[in-house]
Amino acid sequence: MAYIDVITLSDAKNYLRIDDTLTTDDAQITRIINASLSFVEQWTNIYVYARSKTYLMVDGCKRVYDYPINSITSPTEADMVNEEKTLYKNFSYGVDTSDLVLNIGHLLPASVDVEIIEVAYELIDIMYYGSKSNGTLTEQLSALSIEVLNKHRRFIL
Protein backbone atom coordinates (compact mmCIF):
# COMPACT_ATOMS: atom_id res chain seq x y z
CA MET A 1 0.00 0.00 0.00
CA ALA A 2 1.07 3.63 -0.49
CA TYR A 3 -0.21 7.16 0.10
CA ILE A 4 -2.01 7.08 -3.25
CA ASP A 5 -4.14 4.21 -1.92
CA VAL A 6 -5.32 6.36 1.00
CA ILE A 7 -6.22 9.40 -1.11
CA THR A 8 -6.54 8.37 -4.72
CA LEU A 9 -5.61 10.64 -7.60
CA SER A 10 -9.25 10.64 -8.67
CA ASP A 11 -10.44 11.69 -5.19
CA ALA A 12 -7.83 14.47 -5.00
CA LYS A 13 -8.77 15.77 -8.46
CA ASN A 14 -12.45 15.70 -7.45
CA TYR A 15 -11.62 17.66 -4.27
CA LEU A 16 -9.61 20.17 -6.32
CA ARG A 17 -12.46 20.37 -8.85
CA ILE A 18 -10.25 19.20 -11.71
CA ASP A 19 -11.84 17.20 -14.53
CA ASP A 20 -10.60 13.59 -14.56
CA THR A 21 -9.90 13.87 -18.30
CA LEU A 22 -7.25 16.55 -17.65
CA THR A 23 -4.08 14.58 -16.96
CA THR A 24 -1.38 17.24 -17.35
CA ASP A 25 -0.95 17.74 -13.59
CA ASP A 26 -1.42 14.10 -12.49
CA ALA A 27 2.23 13.61 -11.50
CA GLN A 28 2.25 16.89 -9.57
CA ILE A 29 -1.00 16.03 -7.77
CA THR A 30 0.38 12.59 -6.88
CA ARG A 31 3.50 14.22 -5.37
CA ILE A 32 1.25 16.61 -3.43
CA ILE A 33 -0.83 13.69 -2.09
CA ASN A 34 2.38 12.03 -0.90
CA ALA A 35 3.67 15.24 0.67
CA SER A 36 0.41 16.08 2.45
CA LEU A 37 -0.02 12.63 4.00
CA SER A 38 3.66 12.52 4.95
CA PHE A 39 3.24 15.92 6.66
CA VAL A 40 0.26 14.59 8.65
CA GLU A 41 2.23 11.47 9.65
CA GLN A 42 5.20 13.52 10.82
CA TRP A 43 2.97 15.83 12.87
CA THR A 44 0.91 13.10 14.53
CA ASN A 45 2.99 9.89 14.37
CA ILE A 46 -0.13 8.19 12.99
CA TYR A 47 0.84 6.26 9.89
CA VAL A 48 -1.80 6.06 7.18
CA TYR A 49 -0.55 2.89 5.50
CA ALA A 50 1.29 -0.18 6.77
CA ARG A 51 5.08 -0.49 6.39
CA SER A 52 8.14 -1.74 8.25
CA LYS A 53 10.10 0.73 10.35
CA THR A 54 13.37 0.18 12.18
CA TYR A 55 14.10 1.64 15.63
CA LEU A 56 17.36 1.53 17.55
CA MET A 57 16.93 -0.01 20.97
CA VAL A 58 19.18 1.59 23.60
CA ASP A 59 19.95 -0.39 26.75
CA GLY A 60 17.51 -3.00 25.49
CA CYS A 61 14.54 -0.59 25.48
CA LYS A 62 12.65 1.62 23.05
CA ARG A 63 9.61 3.87 23.49
CA VAL A 64 7.58 4.03 20.28
CA TYR A 65 5.03 6.78 19.67
CA ASP A 66 4.12 5.61 16.16
CA TYR A 67 0.60 4.26 15.66
CA PRO A 68 -0.86 1.80 14.89
CA ILE A 69 1.61 -0.94 15.68
CA ASN A 70 0.60 -4.12 13.86
CA SER A 71 3.36 -6.55 14.76
CA ILE A 72 6.95 -7.05 15.89
CA THR A 73 9.04 -8.18 12.92
CA SER A 74 12.35 -8.55 14.74
CA PRO A 75 13.65 -9.48 17.13
CA THR A 76 10.65 -11.71 17.59
CA GLU A 77 11.63 -12.22 21.23
CA ALA A 78 11.14 -8.50 22.03
CA ASP A 79 8.40 -7.78 24.52
CA MET A 80 5.88 -4.96 24.52
CA VAL A 81 5.66 -3.77 28.12
CA ASN A 82 2.97 -1.64 29.81
CA GLU A 83 0.57 -2.23 26.93
CA GLU A 84 -2.11 -0.13 28.65
CA LYS A 85 -0.36 3.12 27.61
CA THR A 86 -2.32 4.79 24.84
CA LEU A 87 0.15 7.35 23.46
CA TYR A 88 3.22 5.13 23.30
CA LYS A 89 4.42 1.57 23.67
CA ASN A 90 7.59 0.44 25.42
CA PHE A 91 9.56 -2.45 23.99
CA SER A 92 12.30 -4.38 25.76
CA TYR A 93 14.83 -6.95 24.65
CA GLY A 94 17.65 -8.49 26.67
CA VAL A 95 20.42 -7.20 24.39
CA ASP A 96 22.07 -3.81 25.09
CA THR A 97 21.67 -2.46 21.55
CA SER A 98 19.67 -4.02 18.79
CA ASP A 99 17.41 -2.93 16.00
CA LEU A 100 13.69 -3.24 16.64
CA VAL A 101 11.68 -3.70 13.46
CA LEU A 102 7.92 -3.12 13.66
CA ASN A 103 5.15 -3.21 11.13
CA ILE A 104 3.30 0.06 11.69
CA GLY A 105 0.48 1.88 9.97
CA HIS A 106 -3.13 1.37 9.03
CA LEU A 107 -3.76 -1.87 7.17
CA LEU A 108 -6.77 -0.49 5.29
CA PRO A 109 -7.31 3.03 3.92
CA ALA A 110 -10.82 3.03 5.37
CA SER A 111 -9.44 2.68 8.90
CA VAL A 112 -7.66 6.06 8.78
CA ASP A 113 -9.53 8.66 10.83
CA VAL A 114 -11.64 10.86 8.54
CA GLU A 115 -10.45 14.01 10.35
CA ILE A 116 -6.86 13.26 9.35
CA ILE A 117 -7.90 12.71 5.74
CA GLU A 118 -9.72 16.08 5.71
CA VAL A 119 -6.57 17.85 6.94
CA ALA A 120 -4.63 16.14 4.13
CA TYR A 121 -7.20 17.40 1.61
CA GLU A 122 -6.75 20.95 2.90
CA LEU A 123 -2.98 20.55 2.53
CA ILE A 124 -3.44 19.27 -1.02
CA ASP A 125 -5.51 22.36 -1.83
CA ILE A 126 -2.91 24.72 -0.34
CA MET A 127 -0.02 22.99 -2.12
CA TYR A 128 -1.80 22.85 -5.49
CA TYR A 129 -3.44 26.25 -5.67
CA GLY A 130 -1.09 28.11 -3.35
CA SER A 131 -2.25 30.28 -0.50
CA LYS A 132 -3.55 33.80 -0.40
CA SER A 133 -1.33 34.45 2.62
CA ASN A 134 2.40 34.24 3.07
CA GLY A 135 3.94 32.10 5.76
CA THR A 136 4.78 28.53 6.51
CA LEU A 137 2.51 25.67 5.60
CA THR A 138 1.33 25.40 9.21
CA GLU A 139 0.48 29.11 9.21
CA GLN A 140 -1.63 28.59 6.09
CA LEU A 141 -3.65 25.72 7.55
CA SER A 142 -7.00 26.57 9.08
CA ALA A 143 -7.29 26.75 12.84
CA LEU A 144 -9.60 23.72 12.70
CA SER A 145 -6.96 21.64 10.89
CA ILE A 146 -4.29 22.63 13.40
CA GLU A 147 -6.68 21.65 16.18
CA VAL A 148 -7.29 18.26 14.54
CA LEU A 149 -3.56 17.64 14.10
CA ASN A 150 -2.86 18.58 17.70
CA LYS A 151 -5.71 16.40 18.94
CA HIS A 152 -4.20 13.39 17.16
CA ARG A 153 -0.57 14.21 18.03
CA ARG A 154 0.98 11.36 20.00
CA PHE A 155 3.73 13.35 21.71
CA ILE A 156 4.44 16.84 23.00
CA LEU A 157 7.35 18.90 21.74
Residue 129: Cβ-neighbour burial (10 angstroms; 0-12, 13-18, 19+): exposed
Judgement on whether residues 26 and 55 belong to the same structural domain of the protein: no
Per-residue pLDDT band for 109 (boundaries 50, 70, 90) equals: very high
For the chain, state the CA radius of gyration. 18
| Residue 148 lies in domain | 3-47+109-152
Question: What pLDDT does 86 receive?
Answer: 77
> Has residue 59 got a pLDDT over 70?
yes
Domain assignment of residue 59, yes or no? yes
Angstrom distances, CA of residue 44 to CA of 76, 131, 140, 153: 27, 23, 18, 4
Judgement on whether residues 71 and 141 belong to the same structural domain of the protein: no
Domain assignment of residue 25, yes or no? yes
Judgement on whether residues 118 and 41 belong to the same structural domain of the protein: yes
Domain assignment of residue 157, yes or no? no
Judgement on whether residues 97 and 130 belong to the same structural domain of the protein: no
Query: Which CATH number goes with the domain that contains 120?
Result: 1.10.3230.30
pLDDT digits (tens, 9 = 90+) for 61-106: 899 999 999 999 998 888 888 767 678 899 998 776 679 999 999 9
Question: What pLDDT does 17 receive?
Answer: 97
- Mean pLDDT over the full length of the chain: 92
- The count of structural domains within the chain is 2
Judgement on whether residues 41 and 28 belong to the same structural domain of the protein: yes
Predicted TM-score (pTM) of the model is 0.90
Question: What pLDDT does 85 receive?
Answer: 66
Judgement on whether residues 113 and 137 belong to the same structural domain of the protein: yes
Domain assignment of residue 75, yes or no? yes
Judgement on whether residues 61 and 100 belong to the same structural domain of the protein: yes
